[in-house]
Chain A
Amino acid sequence: MSSPPDFDPSVPIGRGLVLRNPVAVASGTFGFGLEAEAMGQIDHLGAIFSKGTTVEPRPGNRPPRIAETSSGMLNSIGLQNPGVELVAREYAPRWADWPVPVLVNVAGASVEEYVRVVSRLDRLPGVAGFELNISCPNIAHGLDFGTEPGAAARCTAAARAATELPLVVKLSPNVTDIAEIGHAVEDAGADAVSAVNTYLGMKISLRRRRPVLPGAGTAGLSGPAIKPMALAAVARLRRVLTIPILGIGGVASAEDALEYLVAGADAVQVGTANFSDPSASRKVLEGCLEFARSQGLGRWSDLRWRGPEEAGTA
């Protein structure tokens, strides 16, 4: 994949971490990367965001866990993961040999739990940074950190104190004003934000007269269905933040990715598309580079929308 002359495809996301291109893969859609590595689908990536990792192993939610919706899917996995100890001992050493930086997505039920996961992995070879998951809609407590600015800031500041590595905070869209949370985590020391996590959704079985998924029936909606809402969230965040934004939500093609860069993202994460097409991220990247070449871009940020012309139209 060659780039046009004088075109710089790289993207800095803080603390000296420079993604060689703006196409990453989203947490929860890529495991810990081993499956994709076996299938020959990691070498092109700008970064990998791992499955959400907690202090203790979690078995995850009772099935069924996923459902298909119009242009999207619902998931309620419940943060199934093997716990930080196994990630530290088994996965990180493998990542150290990969040509792609891996940022560990961190989840917890308390500030202390987030800090314990970060501390255990900090400075391990193979761990390039962290993404704080303060926005999982499928476990109790997880959402609370992402919906209240004070709690989001406390969680971010505590993690910040535990590591010098790049710290990305993944924001929930299930809030009144995402900019308020974004502002709080930037002030608390986040190097970048990911926007957005899944939207709270539900699918109903009319035949059974109940939700398709168990428990309360709610789950996280992802895929092309959420792209317009996620683009609006990214554009809103761009108005108030100075740190980089990783756009997430329905990126399945180069056009989708480029739209996020126009809206104000510095990079994107391909998510749900990885499930249907293991080479989706490669196609997204190739298409973006081809676009840059044909348009004679110098940097990706040349694409960025500079904002509304008149005050009050945002």
Chain B
Amino acid sequence: MTVAQAEAAALGASELERALDLEAECTRLLALEEDLFEVSFWAPEMARRARPGEFAQIWTGPDHLRRPFSFSRADPERGTVSFYIGAVGRVTRRLRRLREGEPVRLLGPLGRGFSLPQEPGRSLLLAGGLGAAPFPLLADWLLGRGEAVVWLNGARSPAQLYPPELLPPGLAARSQVTEDGSLGRAARVTEALPAELSQFHRVYACGPNPMLAALWERLSSGSAAGRLEVSIEAPMGCGFGTCLGCAVPLPSEGAGYALCCRQGPVFPAGSLDWERLRRQPAHLE
């Protein structure tokens, strides 16, 4: 895709009509291991609109740009949306200190999420560390459509693993791997893939860029290549396509860049330039 084609594809911005910009109160902050937490906000209409893989831009005050977070849950019955976050920077540390009733501004849903099955089949979810963020909501949707869902949960250490007790009920199978081997098999996610990948109709992955690049290296020549969707991150300024900051490299010569915020954050893995992407920072500095 050339730049011009990408622009032409983006000509219709009608998906942004779904985005809400609202003040939302914190309803719950679930502190997890180390700096990890799940924070929920009262935003009933956003909870109704959010689809798996989409994200919201969170703003805690005028002294910073918004930060993007995938919806980890969206519960229309409770009227809440939730985000699984690591307190690694100035803004995420501020979010970690939120108390019940304190407001932030939410802009969303934004972005293009995971494609969902027309017919029930089997899905494999590959989560690396914080990359588990979009998967609880995705699993909800898949399970609700009768899909058999296998969740492979990986991280460097148990403390960085998405908490097994938070995994949704009804998974066909689940397994944990940690690089240090202190919980589950000592392996990276990419080293612990099920032997029979061909049994999966869909493979969804989210994690650090080097993990996703390694995964693509493993799968690109096999039958699963066309069934792999990845959710990626890029340093993002606005979240809705105007700052052009979140450029993601496309593979062919002269193809230019896609915008993570509008054409992603979920991409077919084969549409990206992994040689360049693996070295690209994921967060705004």
Contact = CB atoms under 8 A, between A and B. Distances in A.
A59 B6 CA distance: 10
B253 to A, nearest CB: 10
Given A38-B13, A75-B245, A82-B8, A59 B254 contact: yes
Interface of B: 2-4, 6-8, 10-17, 19, 21, 59, 62-66, 105, 107, 234-235, 237-238, 240-249, 254-257, 276, 280-281, 284-285
Contacts of B234: 63-64
Nearest to B260: A63
A36 B242 contact: yes
A57 B5 CA distance: 10
B242 A274 contact: yes
Given A63-B257, A82-B4, A68 B284 contact: yes
Given A82-B3, A82-B4, A90-B8, A63 B242 contact: no
B4 A212 contact: no
A34 B243 CA distance: 13
B245 A65 contact: yes
B3 A59 contact: yes
Contact of A39 (B10, B63, B240, B244): B240
A121 interface: no
B30 to A, nearest CB: 27
B241 A60 contact: no
Interface in A78-97: 80-83, 85-86, 90-91
B256 A59 contact: yes
- Chain B binding surface, main DSSP class: loop
Nearest to B105: A277
A49 interface: no
Nearest to B89: A68
A73 B281 CA distance: 17
A90 B9 CA distance: 11
Contacts of B235: 63-67
Contact of B64 (A61, A68, A75, A205): A68
A31 B242 contact: yes
Given A65-B245, A68-B284, A276-B66, A34 B13 contact: yes
B212 to A, nearest CB: 16
Interface in A18-47: 28-31, 34-40
Interface in A254-290: 274-279
Interface residues of A, number: 46
Given A34-B11, A39-B17, A59-B3, A80 B256 contact: yes
B282 to A, nearest CB: 10
A119 interface: no
Contacts of A71: 63
A68 B16 contact: no
Contacts of B17: 38-40
29 contacts: A29-B243, A30-B242, A38-B13, A39-B21, A57-B4, A57-B256, A59-B256, A59-B257, A60-B257, A62-B247, A63-B247, A63-B249, A64-B281, A65-B244, A66-B235, A66-B243, A67-B284, A73-B237, A77-B243, A86-B7, A86-B8, A90-B11, A274-B238, A275-B65, A275-B237, A275-B238, A276-B62, A278-B21, A278-B107
A80 B242 contact: no
Nearest to B11: A90
A39 B11 contact: no
A252 interface: yes
Given A63-B280, A80-B3, A82-B4, A39 B19 contact: yes
Given A37-B13, A60-B256, A203-B285, A66 B237 contact: yes
B63 to A, nearest CB: 7
Given A35-B13, A39-B17, A82-B8, A77 B244 contact: yes
A108 B133 CA distance: 43
A285 B68 CA distance: 28
